[in-house]
Amino acid sequence: MEITAALVKKLRDKTGAGMMACKKALQEKGGDLEAAAILLREQGIAAAAKRATKPTGQGVVGVYVHGDGKIGVLVEINCETDFVARNTDFRKFVKDVAMQICSASPLYVSREDVPADLIESERAIYRTQAASTGKPEKVLEKIADGKMEKFYERVCLLEQPFNQDDSIKIQDYVNQLIAKTGENIRIRRFVRFQLGEELEQ
């Protein structure tokens, strides 16, 4: 099958990967758009794992203020070099992440940041809820596990579906940028301000 420029562009728009990477993935998957997209996601995960230990001493602090001025976000996102920190793809990513925080109100960057006592109390609530259904004991943990995954998706930025493309999570978006820039990218921290809301100390 001929890999047209239009097909390559369609895959690029869908995944954010580079033109050459898109063309190669389409060639490898015989022009199958969905299979090529999955391949690029897998490659992004592999690239992210390979770069995960690289130090991230550069980056930017992004700022986003919602149109009416009632919600504001500060987010620090790190990369390896100043060159990437000034890159338009990186800057767009920072803005997208700040807008995600504004609209989806995560509490933590990743599940590793969630306090252990909060995890325990949430799991206990879900186990109690599951027990009230009268289901067998062996099923209760699976129900609690499923509800915990939903909890992480709600409160952890990296686990949230990307609000501009809910077929991927924020972690997938990070992985795509790592694959595209060839650098480790890390969302380090954020704070979300809402008018009249008390900040937790």
pLDDT tens-place string over residues 81-115: 999 999 999 999 999 999 999 999 999 999 999 99
Percent of the chain beyond pLDDT 70? 90
Tell me what pLDDT residue 11 has: 84
Q: Does residue 38 have a pLDDT over 90?
A: no
Domains of the chain (ranges plus CATH)?
Answer: 5-51 (1.10.8.10), 58-110+157-194 (3.30.479.20), 115-154 (1.10.286.20)
Judge whether residue 68 has pLDDT over 50: yes
Q: Mean of the pLDDT values across residues 148-172? A: 93
pLDDT for the residue 3: 86
Note the pLDDT of residue 57: 82
Phi, psi of 17 (to 5 degrees): -75, 165
Q: Give pLDDT, residue 201.
A: 42
Residue with the larger pLDDT of the pair 140 and 87: 87
Which contacts of 15-19 are long-range, i.e. CB under 8 A and separated by 24 or more positions? 15/40, 15/41, 15/176, 16/89, 16/173, 16/176, 16/177, 16/180, 17/44, 17/176, 17/179, 17/180, 18/180
